[in-house]
Structure 1
Amino acid sequence: MKSLILGTAALALSAGLAMADTVRLGTEGAYPPYNFLNDAGEVDGFERELGDELCKRAELDCEWVTNDWDSIIPNLLSGNYDAIIAGMSITAERKEVVNFTTGYTRPSPSAYAAMSADVDVNSAVVAAQASTIQASHVATTGATLVEFPTPDETVAAVKAGEVDAVMADKDFLIPIVGETELAFVAEDVLLGDGIGMAFRKSDDELRGKFDAAVESMKADGSLNALLEKWEIEGQF
């Protein structure tokens, strides 16, 4: 899952939500199966279905807003939307700036994929999406990290021979490996503490409503059913 490099904590102004009539859910719309734009240009995927169900259970009217990944936390803090539901890992770094619901997935693996099985990911040139926990992990190894703005660009770089491998959520890479010449290399790596919704620290009442809705989906089995439908690891 992703982990934004935080240098914008100053944006955490009191842009709190006064329980507005419509709750705006911010997502990237570019990270299947979690979230993507379908042929009609609408937000789709696991998190679209999850978010709609959570809003229903919390008795809230919600609308979806898309935002580039590299500014998704700053734009939450500045009030462009009221919550983030975008494949975002719960990390200690992020908790300094935002509050999370309980995780709606358990920690699931990140993986490396390459065109050659001989790639040594600890000394290779490895692509990762900028400001993610995968990028942070690669930077701690002996590999050369090359960051790209979007996940699709990381895969394209491997295919074009610009880098030796890509590291991303395994859930994202599985269909790509199945449909292309890329293959998984090295061992999977568990990063982060699962995925949750993120909120401004001033919006704890709203966070609590979604937290209760997530827990109710865990309790009745509907969350696991949704994870299975979208073939996402990290079930409860």
Structure 2
Amino acid sequence: MNFKKTLLGAGLVLMSAASVAATSYKIGTEGGYPPWSMVDAAGTVTGFDADVGAALCAKLNADCQFVVQSFDSLIPSLSANRFDLIISGMSYTPERAKRVNFSTPYAVEDAIFILKADSEIIKADSAEAIFAGVAGKTIGVQGGTTHGAYLAKMAPKVKIKDYETLDQMQIDLDAGRLDGTFADLTSQSRFLKQMNNADFALTDTVIKGSSDPETLGYGIAVGIHKDNAELKQKVDNALCELIKDGTVKSASEKWFDIDIANYDACK
């Protein structure tokens, strides 16, 4: 399936709870980053961010449509007004904030490596030991994410291989074409369970998102056009309601089996 194709089918329409919506929005998402955002054979977007998007649109009394395309094209397309919002597991980073407004972060996410199970650094008790251990190795990351920038900063001797989608990266890992991968903890854990390959394992050490907010960001947020301060305020208010009423928690536990709602954002 071509994930760059704009999908506007009936299956992607997120209807608000109200019978007549006050407005409508297009939401940019990748559609190839399970379990955050996936698109099935029928063209329906599912995943954690799809659930958050549906709940957000209900709060905003809006009809919404997902527009599915590659992750690294989302911000340029938002800036060009091809859609109104980005909901795609996107970390709020200072660099991205130069080009797009971000909502209150609605979720927090850490990162982790998948490496060969017999690697000496699987049991490493510090991030620094892992960075030293992956020097000279080929590590897959998804292009345009914070993970590649962070890895280049912290482990400059690693050979970074970018992939357009998480699925492509994981296929190469399973096929032995990579020494490891670096991505969100939730996505890596899900993939490792599905892969059922004893040759690989998660590292014991998790890379906390808060360890380097300048690179890894301040949490997962909704992207909004720089010129639309009014929409940002509406989205911020709605997201805080969804965090406080348990909606984000429920969606998180549904897709990740853990709660990654950002409770500190709305205190």
Supply the distance in 2 between the matched residues of 1:160 and 1:115 (Cα, whole angstroms).
12
Three-state SS of the structure 1 residue aligned to 2:186 is: helix
Matches within 5 A, 1:1-236: 21-106=23-108, 108-118=109-119, 120-140=133-153, 141=155, 142-180=157-195, 181=197, 182-185=200-203, 187-190=205-208, 191-231=216-256, 232-235=258-261, 236=263
Q: After superposition, give the CA deviation of every residue in 1:63-99 in whole Å (9 maximum; x if it has no partner).
A: 1111111211101111111110000000010111111
Asked whether the equivalents of residues 113 and 167 of structure 1 are also in contact (C-alpha less than 8 Å), the reply is: yes
Asked whether the equivalents of residues 104 and 195 of structure 1 are also in contact (C-alpha less than 8 Å), the reply is: yes
Asked whether the equivalents of residues 23 and 61 of structure 2 are also in contact (C-alpha less than 8 Å), the reply is: no
Three-state SS of the structure 2 residue aligned to 1:189 is: coil
Q: Percent identity?
A: 31
- The one-letter code matched in structure 2 to 1:220 is D
Supply the distance in 2 between the matched residues of 1:83 and 1:217 (Cα, whole angstroms).
17
Count of aligned pairs between the two proteins: 216
Shift of 1:171: 0.7
Q: Which moved more, 1:109-118 or 1:206-215?
A: 109-118
- The one-letter code matched in structure 1 to 2:219 is G
Q: What TM-score, normalized to structure 1?
A: 0.86
Supply the distance in 2 between the matched residues of 1:233 and 1:221 (Cα, whole angstroms).
10
Asked whether the equivalents of residues 121 and 186 of structure 1 are also in contact (C-alpha less than 8 Å), the reply is: no
- The one-letter code matched in structure 2 to 1:234 is I
Supply the distance in 2 between the matched residues of 1:53 and 1:228 (Cα, whole angstroms).
15
Supply the distance in 2 between the matched residues of 1:148 and 1:38 (Cα, whole angstroms).
20
Q: What TM-score, normalized to structure 2?
A: 0.76
Evaluate the alpha carbon distance shift between residue 185 and residue 87 of structure 1 in structure 2; reply closer, same or farther with a 3 A threshold.
same
Moved over 6 A (4+): none
Three-state SS of the structure 2 residue aligned to 1:212 is: helix
Supply the distance in 2 between the matched residues of 1:109 and 1:121 (Cα, whole angstroms).
19
- The one-letter code matched in structure 1 to 2:152 is A
Evaluate the alpha carbon distance shift between residue 186 and residue 136 of structure 1 in structure 2; reply closer, same or farther with a 3 A threshold.
farther
Aligned CA RMSD, in angstroms, stands at 1.7
Three-state SS of the structure 1 residue aligned to 2:54 is: helix
Structure possessing the higher relative contact order (Cα contacts under 8 Å, 6 or more residues apart): 1
- The one-letter code matched in structure 1 to 2:194 is E
Give unmatched runs, 5+ long, in structure 2.
Answer: 1-21, 122-132, 209-215
Supply the distance in 2 between the matched residues of 1:184 and 1:122 (Cα, whole angstroms).
18
Q: After superposition, give the CA deviation of every residue in 1:80-137 in whole Å (9 maximum; x if it has no partner).
A: 111100000000101111111101102x211111243316324421111111111111
Shift of 1:186: 5.4
Give unmatched runs, 5+ long, in structure 1.
Answer: 1-19
